[in-house]
Structure 1
């Protein structure tokens, strides 16, 4: 496979990608039910970008003007690649979240960089079957599009790079996403419920590595006398006041903050789900009656404690409404 003028960058884990106007939404393909395969632990997927030339309809070439995102499993083998996509700045995501939208989107895997060097939407695809699941539809910030691709033996790429094509895949600013590769198994025939259960399953009581697990929020340390504890219940170290630690699980008396370490629940801890801020223009915060309370400057963070009625609840009844310039980070 020959790729012209590509500048490659690689990262591992969660990335952001961005987009253009969404394509029309189609209809879901018929599902073939089959017995669930034996559980296989997911493997780490490298995620990166290549930069290639953009060729317009008149044949004009613009050097290094088009980006394309790729996914690279650790081995060149058949299996299922799952990509979870969440909104960053992609304004059409709310259209997909609408209850009337069918769970089918024009995302595809290709064996060469998408829309670079004159290639179009009809470029060769690098999968046998795919399926799409919409997850957490009731939540603006947690809504996830899960794309599941089965890569058969005759589609395995020697360089282990599979390029995602579709709405929002030629920029780095519209989505967060995570990727998992399940070697040797085909998860596309499963029902949505079966696939969710399979992906969330643990093996031998061990969690999926934290590099592939999204945190669910943060805990704010309000006191100077709070400690971090290890899995044996021993104090590991003192925490900084006003520090915000990532939380992976909330339990009865503690917040799990990764690696077996935890913070005790006390009056000096406060859980919140993330931050909300704006890009390029001011962010409006409203009171409980819908009146304008305050305008925050671009990139000013405000803590979000929950989401209700499609709004970011920022404390004491105040809220921020989702919009194309509003971004949420955990």
Structure 2
């Protein structure tokens, strides 16, 4: 395995046809409370009045790796309505639990996919019956969510502009979240994580937003630099893979930073590999959909550069498994790969490790 390399790419538009979406239930606005409740639907169609419809992805936490929220994003990609993701800025499960917070990479990806982000916070919870200083069944501020939904219905600009506006207010939202958690801590008698720790993380998030805007303003210069700068060439053998930092530029000059699980260079092609693994069975459907969201990005790359040389991208979803799934799942995956022009790589792990 080689050390990480850096790639630059351009995306002009997102065109992707999902084929494995769940059938989404239509929820009336007066039913939103039950949909937002803990254990409620992760993705649904929200009907507002007689004509307004929104595709909604509800996240149960801001961290991508713990609850597979991209699976719910995948499910709303099938619709033609405005797409919305409701995400808590902070999720504090108590001193005996996890502390997760929203990251800029998440907002970047959703912006590229045309999803409006509603950053929000929790106002209610229950004390865990298993751990002394842990809370569970956290509930959103429903009035705040409804207010933001109404704004999105009449918002005329692209999701990127909306998301930047929301992220500019991230500190204020974080303060509201901390105040709410402070009241919950007193009411439930549960110790939470330190306020100072949370604020420090939010400051880092805000710094990344400012860096994004600065890079966007300098996008033309960055493109020029890419053509002229020289870097040390790296020799890569066929079938040798490495991780890669991938910077994607869109039409309005926004620069988005991601990490590829694996890349492989063969001739004038670079394989951009999103890998999902299972040591005991087959990757779960949620895990697979998480990978398909990355395929929606990679299949729309129009230009890809490494060391100032233009390469042809080969988007690849790699699934490593210990036990074969039902043939119908494989056929569905093959169909999605064929329609959207990415490679599907199935690797059996006979060792179970």
Shorter-chain TM-score above 0.5 = no
Higher normalized strand content (fraction of residues): 1
Please give the TM-score of this superposition, normalised by the length of structure 2: 0.28
